[in-house]
Amino acid sequence: MNQRYKQLLKSGFLVIITAFMVVSATVVYGDLAKNNDETYKGLSLFSDVLEEINQNYVEPVDSKELIQEAIQGMVGSLDPHSSFMPPEAFEDLQTETKGEFGGIGIVITLRDKRLTVISPIEGTPAYKAGIQAKDVIVKVNGDPTKDMMLWEAVKKLRGEPGTSVEISIYRKGAKKLLDFTLVRDVIPQESVRAITLKPGIGYLWITNFRENTSKEVKEGLEKLESENSPLKGLIVDLRDNPGGLLDQSVKVSDIFLKEGTIVSIKGRDERENKEFKAHNDTEAKDYPVILLINGGSASASEIVAGALQDNHRALLIGTKSFGKGSVQTVKPLQDGYALKYTIARYYTPSGKSIQAEGIQPDLVVKRRVLDESAGDGFDSDLIKEADLKNHLAAEDETTDEKKEIKEDASKEDAGKEDAVEEEIDKTATEAEKLMRLRDAVYEHSSTDSNKLLLDSQVNRAYEILKGYEIFQGLTKK
């Protein structure tokens, strides 16, 4: 189709098209003329343009395709999160929040008209390849993404597990485009993992917000609370969490709050305005909570962060979040089509809109890999008293049998630590190492959760919780 006419159809008068798709032009003209003369004129102009192209364009045109292109241009001009979806795109959206699907595992958006990664999904091909938040996808299988609709890009990236897709990425600071060949896989439904970081200190990692996330959070907390009696502190990791379902973010926040506002939604239509409040209907979670966020924390994860921060329930550590503070609804249309569009902004309990601003952590800590000699648990290479010849034994170290048990345990732990280190060292960059720290720990989770403390933000959170525990002990004496 001639590019000039495509642009014409996507210009200022495209607001007329939705009505044109739903009912006949005569009825629409009659209704709108009563309310808005300018809208009527726009509809009339569109009708003239469409008729002229149908009759006189150099090649035969498909009127239905023309109208769909026009609607896509209209809706896409509103904001990056609004879109007109054909049946296949609507089906994909429903699958994304309810079931498993084949893909590479990234959440994308249009930012300044560029196809931008919000964040990779933990454990997926994109995550393992080192795709990062704010990467710009410029090509998919050699096709430029400029002017590509969001649903079109999603469709190209998804596919049957085992098939491959090539993407070219622009990354700030890189001297050239980064090319990746990714093998599609089943994108997992699991969204929560829980592990004891140190005795009394739990680590809860929420990767996204799907249908069962709040249930998984409760199960994770039960696991941590049973392993640690009592649980003295909790680190909740929402870094690179692109969000998901609003109701799940509200339910997760409610788990940690006994009272107060969680989030409020305000739109043009007052009927869409809602305020979600906490309920004191769960067992008390009175241990201190530290929540980790970064630039990949968006939407639903920002709701949780804002709710816990404003209600003074958690200390936020990391870097500023993504800043996606709008609410979308999906309106099914005829013939399987759907309209996804923004209906409201959401506000934190203090009344702050984070749209395009993000949530600022209480304590800014940049993420990096720590040297193993720094931090609790990583001084294994340093000489200690026990390494000195003829060192004075502890009182309970009285038999050769105990010494042998201790030596065997040390060898076993060293072997597991080497396995974790080998997994981490497969990557070349610090960013990729950080993305794999958690994976390596979970693969060897029975022993070496200490490796998480190589992550500077996790390490700082642990130090604060440990310091709080020590201080409480001092004040009780």
* Residues designated catalytic: 299, 310, 324
**Count of alpha carbons within 13 Å of 317, Cβ hemisphere only?**
23
Instruction: Give the amino acid at 259.
Output: E
Helix (H, G, I), strand (E, B) or coil at 185: strand
Q: How far apart are CA 212 and CA 230, in angstroms?
A: 26
Peptide bond into 230 cis (omega under 30): yes
Q: How far apart are CA 206 and CA 238, in angstroms?
A: 6
Q: What are phi and psi of 136, to 5 degrees?
A: -110, 120
**In the structure, how many helices (H) and strands (E) does the chain have?**
14, 19
Q: Is 121 exposed, middle or buried (0-12, 13-18, 19+ CB in 10 A)?
A: buried
Q: How far apart are CA 324 and CA 358, in angstroms?
A: 7
Q: Are the CB atoms for 248 and 209 separated by under 8 Å?
A: yes
Q: Are the CB atoms for 285 and 325 separated by under 8 Å?
A: no
| DSSP H helices in 228-327 | 246-256, 300-310
List the one residue out of 177, 168, 330 whose CA is nearest residue 246: 330
Q: How far apart are CA 212 and CA 202, in angstroms?
A: 21
Q: How far apart are CA 356 and CA 324, in angstroms?
A: 6
Compute CA distances 299 → 345, 358, 362, 460, whole Å: 11, 9, 19, 25
Q: How far apart are CA 7 and CA 413, in angstroms?
A: 64
CB atoms within 10 A of CB 113: 12
| DSSP H helices in 207-327 | 213-227, 246-256, 300-310
Compute CA distances 144 → 77, 133, 167, 173, whole Å: 20, 20, 10, 21
Q: How far apart are CA 366 and CA 247, in angstroms?
A: 30
Q: What are phi and psi of 289, to 5 degrees?
A: -125, 135
- 103 forms bridges with which residues in the sheet? 185
